[in-house]
Structure 1
């Protein structure tokens, strides 16, 4: 059985994602789709609008066959480590033949040539990034500029800079770098994004809107407002989550615990938290005392600078909320890769693939977290508990659903 991998967040799953899943099958000729999906907290440092179980259901209804959780240790990270963690999981399953990712350009050849150069981290790359950061660039812009300057023959530096300045191209580059570093036989494929751009805030005239636009509709007017842009199954799941008061989850639901933690920790304690860098602990403490109102949005707006992007700050606040220590999310720790394959859900096709995966994977396959011990899994369980406390309708079972609930089956 041939399997294609996709790396997703589905926040929430919309019509553009359905197109991507269809293209992944078509381009790869695969019989099954394996999705690596972020859990409660996402790469841009945001809480997912609905739970990982609800998003797993969406994925299975839309065409994924097996859904694996990306540990929070990798899910809430800059592109380099997010990509490395997700690609490592696909590689270690032993059953994935190809990886299909979306990109603005659809230009796999140029991205691969740049990835081959960057996979060995050329001398001077980190120094160039540091110089660009000192000049006031954000980290994504600094990395893109430094990477473009090292573009190999046949790839113009200006063209490379334009290519890597687009978010899906940049993330795709990191997937390719991860494949190179792992020496993986997985074949990369890309499909050009269609319809709405990644950050497009309002829906266009077609049936495809960005996840950003869909979330804005959901937050403003509820699930029915998003109906033109999501599959029927996604709409039904969203309606259920709203009705059962588990959604929408957003940053302000975490305002009280987050601001409590930030206000009651010494600067030296905050400095030990992941992504609290370059004196941000002092800026955070000073800013808290000057907020016009005690809200996460006010805090982010006050902290944001040209160098410290909203994404960087959101990731920092997520780590503060979840008490993620620098030591446990160090580059040395992350470079070891995820320690298990946590199954979130599967269908009949995925069940057959899962049975094979159990015999060939190079990591333990975890269906019941209560039967497995790993530091990264402890962080996942804690993240789910913190996330469920943001539900309007709270209960202990939802907090510890990782222990109580079996994988989703569709």
Structure 2
């Protein structure tokens, strides 16, 4: 039996996600699907609008057989480590035969050769990224430009595509094209500007990092991609379509609007239940009070020891804080934002401050070791066979009861869940400590 892996946040799960899931099953020919999902906080450094249990239930009702949690150590990182942690988890299950992700390009023809090259390119690329950062560019802009330049400057021989370690299960109808041949419109035919433009697509960029992670892990998981449909990442809601960006849907929910036209009925039912129970929707302002308390009681030296608090940002934070006429997280982010520091970068920094994430415990040296466990969030009845198979194939402990496992990153997951639940309207003990008190979600 074939099993396709999907990496997602489902914040919230909408019709575009349903399309991606259906295409992933069709292209891979898989009988089963595993979803690696972020927990309470997301890759852009934001609180998820609804709990991981609610979003797990959405995924299972969509049809996913098994949902496992991407540890917070990887879930709130830049694309490189987010992708590495998620792909490493899929690899560790021992059952995933393919990985399907969405992209603006809808093709692997350009991304695969570039991923092969960048997986082996390190010194010159990192030097160019540092040079661009010193000129004031944001990291995403610096990375995409440096990667495109490194590719363009490669020697003709080095630029030839090399075989990728992947099982030959990519079907003929896949938009990817042949896995080991560049084909029409491939990266070999693109110049520096067009490659940089390719990588400015958020899904293209993340997909590239999935491919790099597969390469570096020597994984046999076959990559697949499907084109992103409907609105782009930052585009507003449009009438006459059933697919909208998650960003626009979150804005709609914050304004009290109904997302019924853009999400499946089961997602809508779960959202309504969570709202009625006071468990969402949450956003950064839901964490205004604990964040202000932390910022008001920490010294610059204490803040400097936390992840992503670099280059004097601790001093800038403490200088700006008393200048705000009223403290809001949005106001703080606006005051901190600059050409060098994107909102996403700053949100991740504030999240690490909120959760007390130290530099050393989430350092590249530690993250490069990969996750230390596979945490099961939920499963369908059809997922029981996957769990049974994973007991034999998995290279990491498979956890359904966190109390039976000890790992520093698991402790951070449990703390993140408690901090998230504390922002509910009237948090209950069962919600604050749901990781201990509630079994995996079952559908």
- Band of TM-score, shorter chain: over 0.9
Counterpart pick for 2:433 among 381, 400, 410? 400
Instruction: Mark the runs of 5 or more structure 2 residues left unpaired by the alignment.
Output: 152-158, 161-187
TM superposition score normalised by structure 2: 0.91
Counterpart of 2:376 (choices 320, 343, 349) is 343
Secondary structure of the 1:312 match is helix
8 Å Cα contact 1:201-1:216 kept in structure 2: no
Once the two structures are superposed, what CA deviation does each residue of 1:189-238 show, in whole Å capped at 9, x if it has no partner?
Answer: 0000011112223334200000011111111125xx10000000000000
Please point out which of 181, 184, 187 is paired with 2:222. Answer: 187
Distance across 2 between alignment mates of 1:51 and 1:346: 16
Q: Aligned equivalents of 1:17 and 1:24: distance in 2?
A: 10
CA distance in 2, matches of 1:200, 1:89: 32
CA distance in 2, matches of 1:35, 1:97: 13
* Aligned equivalent of 2:276, options 243, 265, 278: 243
CA distance in 1, matches of 2:35, 2:233: 20
Aligned pairs for 1:12-27 within 5 A: 12-27=12-27
Q: What is the match of residue 357 of structure 2?
A: 324
Report the counterpart of residue 37 of structure 1 in structure 2.
Answer: 37
**1:124 and 2:124 are equivalent in the alignment:** yes
Give the Å deviation of 1:394: 1.0
Match of 2:389 in 1: 356
Q: Which of structure 1's runs of 4+ aligned residues deviate more than 4 A? A: none
Written as runs of structure 1 = structure 2, the 5 A alignment for 1:301-312 is 301-312=334-345
Residue in structure 1 matching 2:422, options 383, 389, 402: 389
Which residue, 301, 317, 321 being the options, matches 1:284?
A: 317
SS at match of 2:101: strand
Alignment deviations for residues 327-352 of structure 1 (CA, whole Å, 9 cap, x no partner): 10000000000000000001011111
- How far off its partner does 1:298 sit? 0.7
The structure whose residues are more often helix, as a share, is: 1
Aligned to 1:226: 259
Output the CA distance in 1 between the equivalents of 2:309 and 2:236. Answer: 29
**Residue 260 of structure 1: aligned partner:** 293
- The Cα of 1:354 is off from its aligned counterpart by 1.2
> For 2:239 and 2:96, how far apart are their aligned partners in 1?
35
Name 1:135's counterpart in structure 2: 135
What whole-Å deviation, never above 9, does each CA across 1:62-100 have from its counterpart, x for those lacking one? Answer: 121100000000000000000000000001100000000
Post-superposition offset of 1:157: 1.9
Residues 31-180 of structure 1 aligned to structure 2 (within 5 Å): 31-151=31-151, 152=159, 154=188, 155-180=190-215
Instruction: Write the distance in 1 (CA, Å) between the matches of 2:389 and 2:305.
Output: 42
Question: Secondary structure of 2:270's match?
Answer: helix
Give the secondary structure class of the aligned counterpart of 1:229: coil
Aligned to 2:185: none
Alpha-carbon distance in 2 for matches of 1:234, 1:199: 22
Task: State the distance in 1 between where 2:24 and 2:294 align.
Answer: 43
TM-score of the two chains, using structure 1 as the length reference? 0.98
Determine the C-alpha separation between the residues in 2 that align with 1:346 and 1:397: 20
Q: Is the 8 A contact 1:99 1:186 kept in 2?
A: yes
Secondary structure, in 3 states, of the residue corresponding to 1:329? coil
Whole-angstrom CA distance in 2 between matches of 1:308 and 1:325: 20
- Measured in 2, the distance between the counterparts of 1:95 and 1:319 equals 33
Computed over aligned residues only, the root mean square deviation of the Cα atoms, in angstroms, reads: 0.9
Report if aligned partners of 1:22, 1:63 keep a CA contact under 8 Å in 2.
no
CA distance in 1, matches of 2:94, 2:47: 30
| CA-CA distance at 1:164 after TM superposition | 0.5
Quote the offset at 1:292 in angstroms.
Answer: 2.1
SS in 2 for 1:289: helix
Cα distance in 1 for residues equivalent to 2:8 and 2:207:
12
Contact 1:203 1:210 in 2 (8 A): no
Contact 1:203–1:213 (CA<8 Å) still a contact in 2? no
What is the DSSP-based 3-state SS (H/G/I as helix, E as strand, rest coil) of the residue aligned with 2:316? helix
**Which residue does the alignment assign to 2:170?**
none
1:73-130 per-position Cα deviation (integer Å, ceiling 9, x unaligned):
0000000000000000001100000000000001202101011111123331111001
Measured after TM superposition, the shift of residue 163 of structure 1 is 0.6
Worse-matched range after superposition: 342-351 or 7-16: 342-351
Query: For residues 121 and 404 of structure 1, what CA distance do their matches in structure 2 show?
Result: 46
